[in-house]
Structure 1
Amino acid sequence: MITVFRYDTSVYKFRDWAELVLGHQNLERINEKTLQNAKAPKNRVYQFITLMKNAFEADNDIRELFGQFVKNEVAIRIDFEPWLSIYPNFRVHEADQEATSPFHRDRDYLKERGSLKVWLPFTHVSKGGTLWVESEEGKKDYRPYEMKYGEALLFDSLNLEHGCFFNDSGSCRVSMDFIIRKNPMLV
C-alpha cells in the first residue's frame, strides 16, 4: 500500500512550527544556518532533529495540532487502532549530503506488526532528497516520491524497503514521519 494525500497547510502549519523551532525562515537552505560545535553534517542533522524533538515534547499546542492531523487526515484514510501516544520522528537531509541511514524496512527496527508509516515533508522534495520506496516487497524497484509541502505519503514501511540517496536536489529536506497501527479487527 502506497498512497499520497494532500492536507491543508493553513490549518496544519507544521512548516511554520519547524521554521520557528529551527530559527530559520527557509528550510530548503537550513544548511546555511551556523550551529555552535556542529560542523560535520551528521552532527548538524542531529542538532536540528533534537531541537524539533524537544520542542514537540514541550509544546502542548503542536502536540494537539498533530493529534488533530492524525484524527482528521489519517483516520479517514485507514482504520487504525489509536496508540496512547504517537510521537513523530523528525528528519533533516541537507543538500549535497549522503543519507543519514541506509535503506531498510521498519521491521528491521520495529517489532510492531500491522503498522503503516505517514511521512510529511515540510519542504518540496525531489531527486536524492526525497524518500524512495520499492513498489512491492523484495522488488527493489525504488521510486522517488517527489512531493510538495502539504502532501503526505502513507505506506507499508514495515514491509517495503525505503530510504534516501545522496541529496542532489539542491535543497534541504525537513520532514516528520510516524507509525500508526492498523486495527487488526478491521484488516
Structure 2
Amino acid sequence: MKSDFKTLIPAYNATKGRFSLITVPPLQYLMIDGSGDPNTSQAYRDALSTLYPVAYKLKFFSKGELERDYGVMPLEALWWAEDMDSFTGARDKSLWSWTLMNMVPEWITREHVEAACRVVAGKGGAPALDILRLESLDEGLSVQTLHVGPYDDEGPVLEEMHHRFIPEQSLAMTGRHHEIYLSDPRRAAPERLRTILRQPVAHLPD
C-alpha cells in the first residue's frame, strides 16, 4: 500500500473563505534555511534544487529497502520577518527569512537522510546539501485557510487572519507563518494556485 499523507493527515486540508482551528500533530521535515526574495534569491533556488532530489531518493529507498511506499509531499515553507506586516502590507520580500520544508514519514531517520545526501551529492546539482537537515516541528493549535490565486494576493487574507479572526477568538500568534503549496507553479496558472496558509496560535489567558 502506498501512503498518501495529504489524505491521512487532516492538517493538509483547508477550505477557501473559512478560517479553521486545527491541532497539527508533530511532523518531521527536510529543512533548509535562507533569506531574501524567493523570486530573485540564489539561496532560494539552491534550496529548491536540493530539497527534492533528496526527498525522492528517500521515497525510493523507503519503497525498495523498507517496503513502505509513500507519495512525496508538497513543498512547504515557514516565513518570518522582524516586521510581520511586511507580509500583509507592502510585502517587501527582501526582508523575509524562510525555511523550505518537505514532510517525510516518521520512519525516515537521520541515517537514511545522510545516506540519501551522499548519493545525491555524487550526482551533483544539489548545492545546499551542507545545510539540509531533518527536524521535527510541533505546531499544535493553529489557524489555517485555503488561498486560491497568486501568492502576491495573500496579503488581505493574512491581514484578516492576523488582525480579525485570531484576536476575535482570544488567541495570540506563536510560531512562524506556514505555507503549504498544493499546486506546482510551473504547471498551474497563477489564478489557480492553491496554498494552505497556517498560523500557530495559543489561547490568551483569562
TM-score, normalised via structure 2 length: 0.27
The structure carrying a bigger strand percent of its residues is: 2
- More helix by proportion, 1 or 2? 2
Q: TM-score, normalised by structure 1?
A: 0.29
Larger radius of gyration: 2
